[in-house]
Structure 1
Amino acid sequence: MKKVAIIICVLFSLNGFSQNANKLTSEFNLEKKVAIQGYDPVTYFKQSKAVKGNKELSAVFEGVNYYFSSSENKEAFLKKPSAYEPQYGGWCAFAMGDSGEKVTVNPYTFKIIDGKLYLFYNAYFTNTLKSWNKDQDNLKTKADVNWRKIIN
């Protein structure tokens, strides 16, 4: 009887993980289930720049696929994935704070704040990182609230 109870608990846990992964993949900014348009999330922290990842060096975290530019970066990510994930599912941090909208990003326009990666829209003469920098604390607080509403 004890074994049956353990098996049931494991099955429910896996089902919860699957639902969580599906929720993330449906809300994250992904192209063919790949985060950050295939850019290596670790290079933002280690090299302070966007570097395209390699499909052969990929890892999946909570249903989201990430590409890496080196096996060292992949290993670093696998040790602590949450440390490298982009905030707000990889959507524009400014738009998330300003209006709660999911707006695509330019992977080259980013900022590291308190050890977290924030990405921004930058096209057609509009760089939202500049607007974010003018009111970062307020926008970050609003973006955190808006993102929680989306993923819950």
Structure 2
Amino acid sequence: MNRFVLTIAAAATALSFANAAFAGEQFVDETGFAVSGYDVVAYFSLPQNAVGQTNTAPVEGIKSITAEYNGATFAFSSEANRDLFTANPEKYVPQYDGHCAYGVAKGGKVPGNPTLWRIVDDKLFLNITPNVVGFWEEDIPGHINMSTGNWPSLDPQPAADRTIPQWSSMAPKG
């Protein structure tokens, strides 16, 4: 019995290293920050509206409070949020390296707009435009399932190099 437990633990460790080694590039827009400089930890404490309604505006990060992860700089609104992030970045980073969740479901990497967000099963998802949010919200579990299936082939590809449509980007404060 102990041998089996150790084997599972060894396999889990190997898989975690493998996932880190094959992580794709984080989407970074013209602000130079992941998630356009918004505080990814803060999303998890914001009130979330019902499906079909626009969510609360995200919280801007501060240029001097940052952390590096997956080759990108993340900005935070407080040192406490930065510390929460550095202790467990996988909990807070947007799914699909910040790319549009619906785009990944449809088989491509397109920018994720940080103002079009939703927390599902304690994970942060972004989409690209309000119209796309409407399509994604028609079947969130189904689209997440498709995205999960598509992501292994998309993940190693370079990050999206397009800008977010109709988005006037905003670098972090201060």
The two structures have a TM-score, normalised by structure 1, of: 0.75
What is the distance in 1 between the residues matched to 2:64 and 2:113? 23
Inter-partner Cα distance in structure 2 for 1:46 and 1:68: 13
Shift of 1:61: 1.7
1:24/1:64 contact within 8 Å kept: no
Higher helix share: 1
Which ranges of structure 2 fall in alignment gaps of 5 or more residues?
1-16, 48-55, 157-174
The correspondence of residues 16-55 of structure 1 with structure 2, limited to 5 A, is 20=21, 24-25=24-25, 28-31=26-29, 34-48=33-47, 49=56, 50-55=58-63
* Inter-partner Cα distance in structure 1 for 2:93 and 2:153: 19
- Asked if the contact 2:100/2:109 (under 8 Å) is kept, the reply is yes
Cα pair 2:101 2:147 within 8 Å, conserved: yes
Alpha-carbon distance between aligned partners in 1 of 2:114 and 2:142, rounded to the nearest angstrom: 23
Query: Shift of residue 34 of structure 1?
Result: 2.3
Q: Residues 12-41 of structure 1: CA distance to partner in whole angstroms, max 9, x if unpaired?
A: xxxx89x938x533xx21136521011110
Q: TM-score of the superposition, structure 2-length normalised?
A: 0.66
**Distance between the aligned counterparts of 1:73 and 1:66, measured in 2?**
11
**Structure 1: 4+ residue segments shifted above 3 A:** none
State how many pairs are aligned. 129
What letter corresponds to residue 144 of structure 2 in structure 1? K
Q: Conserved in 2, the CA contact under 8 Å of 1:51 and 1:69?
A: yes
Pick from 142, 149, 157: which aligns with 1:145? 149
Q: Report which structure shows greater RCO (CA 8 Å, sep ≥6).
A: 2
* 1:40–1:67 contact (8 Å) kept in structure 2: yes
Q: Aligned residue for 2:117?
A: 110
- Structure 2: distance between partners of 1:47 and 1:67: 17
Find the aligned partners of 1:109 and 1:44 in 2 and give their Cα distance: 11
Report the identity percentage: 31
Q: Displacement, 1:69?
A: 0.8
Deviation at 1:95, TM superposition (A): 1.3
Q: Please report the RMSD computed on the Cα atoms of aligned residues, expressed in angstroms.
A: 2.2
Asked if the contact 1:45/1:112 (under 8 Å) is kept, the reply is yes
2:108 counterpart residue number? 101
Which one has a larger percent strand, Structure 1 or Structure 2?
1
- Three-state SS of the structure 1 residue aligned to 2:137 is helix
